[in-house]
Structure 1
Amino acid sequence: MNSCDFTMDLENNNNTQLTGEQTDQFAKKRKSSITVNDNEVEAKRLKKTEPEETRPSPQSPKKRLQLIEKPKHNKDSHFIYGNYKHYYGKRILDKNFHDIRLDVLATQPELFRGKRLLDIGCNSGHLSIQIAKTFEVKSLVGLDIDRGLVKDAQTTITHLKRKAKTGLGFPHNMRFVQGNYVLEDEVLLEIERPQFDAILCLSVTKWIHLNFCDSGLKQAFRRMYLQLNPGGKLILEPQSFDGYKRRKKLSEQIRENYQHIKFRPEQFTEYLLSEEVGFTAMELMGTPEHCEAGFKRPIQIFSKK
């Protein structure tokens, strides 16, 4: 048989014989398939060798969150009641705790020795503790609207109680409570009864005023009078109205309240001595000589008959 006449028998996957023309077509398809596969392999090889810097790196969830623009936050908005956590850091003049107001209070120690005291706006309790310890009070209740500050104060006094040798006197005669001194309804004044010999209201009037307006502060003054025993003393350290303006931006509500204030600090004495409240006399106890002018505030004593 001549080789030119010879036709090779090829089989496909179904074991059927292919003619010469079918064989050529099959060979072309195989060549085309190999070329495509080679191209894919080359593309993958090139992709692997592509420099890292040309490909954008995926961003972590934390990085993506950082790119989101956050609304501006007033860091002082938590302190609308003057409840600054490190307030006493501004009032301490040396490494050991010594609030300069203690020197003024020490001019009349008889107002505190053996007396029942209420300290309104006690903050973290440092000054309250020093008053109770220095002047040997009978008892002292510290009140503040900020729950966190009261917790700090109570933690401090609990620690002191554990260290104390006996269960009598300081620090066992102290406690701190959380609450708003301004009552929700004026009718509640009718159930107030005398229970304290002296009430301290030191650098608190501005915050009551800005948050609860003229009516709130006047109600607080009347409540102080009602809670004092006969012969009791209100020891008041009011802030000047100049300091109000710097705090009016703490919140929109405070800004609005500020605009409506008509009862100015210079009118406090007249109001406290009026028949509406009832105090019979006022005397100047002293003015702390503080290193910062803003803290040089006169401390007054109002007496109940």
Structure 2
Amino acid sequence: MERRNNNPGAVQYGNFMNYYQFNSAVERVKLLPSKDIWQPKQNNTRTENEPYLVLDVGCNCGVFTQLLQQFLGEQLQQPVHVLGVDIDERLIERAKAENTCLDKISYFTADVLNEDQFDSPVKTYLEQHHRQKFDAICCYSITMWIHLNHHDNGLQFFLRKLSQMAELFVVEPQPWKCYQTAERRLKKTGEVFPLFLELKWRSDVEQQIQKYLEQELCRQSVYESTPTKWQRRICFFR
């Protein structure tokens, strides 16, 4: 997980060590919808004391994860437990060290597409809460990194795998210009993303992701935020 030529902007998996210095977690929280979007379906038989479960994929060092837990707790007026996962062990170590809510937030290191690393801890977590799915799975600004490293099929598998585990699926896709920036930064170090030129989902990648979620995974768009300063929209699907 080393940065190329010690360049903090040239990363292969989006594991920026200083991510929240240029992408405010507080500002992202301000774009989140109210409780009506987050609440489980009306026919849910859960009791009030059962926690609302969230999986935060690509949680980095946990700054936003903690704010998300606080936000949802205030909105839903019930216990909210969040499991954060990131591919970078150093970021997870920071997240654990800075965790101020140990009873409700936990973290682990894994590549979501690596069955041995990811599936067992998630299964155990759900079993501990006597649940089969998360109330919400959040994927903020990570689809591009899955796409660049695993091609169109890998991104589709990622979306399908997580969608099957979620009641509410939250995705903040990066637009194509972000791909071009990531490739340009890596090129400056003498490397490239090998699959970049082979991708079929390109300039319309955001639309392709939405189309895949709606048409292939039978999800319905229920909310879309105003754009962030990076011109990314946070999209909610049931």
- TM-score, normalized by the shorter chain, greater than 0.5: yes
Aligned-partner Cα distance in 2 for 1:237–1:140: 18
Gaps of 5+ in 1: 1-71, 93-97, 161-169
Local SS of the residue matching 2:159: helix
Q: 1:225–1:278: 8 Å Cα contact kept in structure 2?
A: no
TM-score (norm 2): 0.75
TM-score (norm 1): 0.60
Equivalent residues in 2 for 1:167-182, closer than 5 Å? 170-182=101-113
Residue 86 (structure 2) pairs with residue 144 (structure 1) = yes
CA 1:248–1:220 in structure 2 vs 1: closer, same or farther (change >3 Å)? same
Equivalent residues in 2 for 1:148-227, closer than 5 Å? 148-157=90-99, 160=100, 170-183=101-114, 194-227=132-165
- Aligned amino acid, residue 92 of structure 2: V
Residue 203 (structure 2) pairs with residue 259 (structure 1) = no
CA 1:254–1:273 in structure 2 vs 1: closer, same or farther (change >3 Å)? farther
Local SS of the residue matching 1:256: coil
CA 1:265–1:110 in structure 2 vs 1: closer, same or farther (change >3 Å)? closer
Residue 218 (structure 2) pairs with residue 278 (structure 1) = yes
CA 1:129–1:123 in structure 2 vs 1: closer, same or farther (change >3 Å)? same
Local SS of the residue matching 1:182: coil
Aligned-partner Cα distance in 2 for 1:255–1:79: 10
CA drift at 1:218? 0.5
- The counterpart of 1:102, out of the listed 22, 26, 29, is 29
CA drift at 1:107? 3.0
Q: How large is the RMSD of aligned CA atoms in angstroms? A: 2.8
In structure 2, the partner of 1:300 is 235
In structure 2, the partner of 1:117 is 54
Aligned-partner Cα distance in 1 for 2:142–2:83: 16
Q: How many residues align?
A: 203
CA drift at 1:132? 0.7
CA drift at 1:201? 0.5
Residue 171 (structure 2) pairs with residue 236 (structure 1) = yes
Aligned-partner Cα distance in 2 for 1:110–1:268: 20
- Aligned amino acid, residue 183 of structure 1: N
CA 1:101–1:273 in structure 2 vs 1: closer, same or farther (change >3 Å)? same
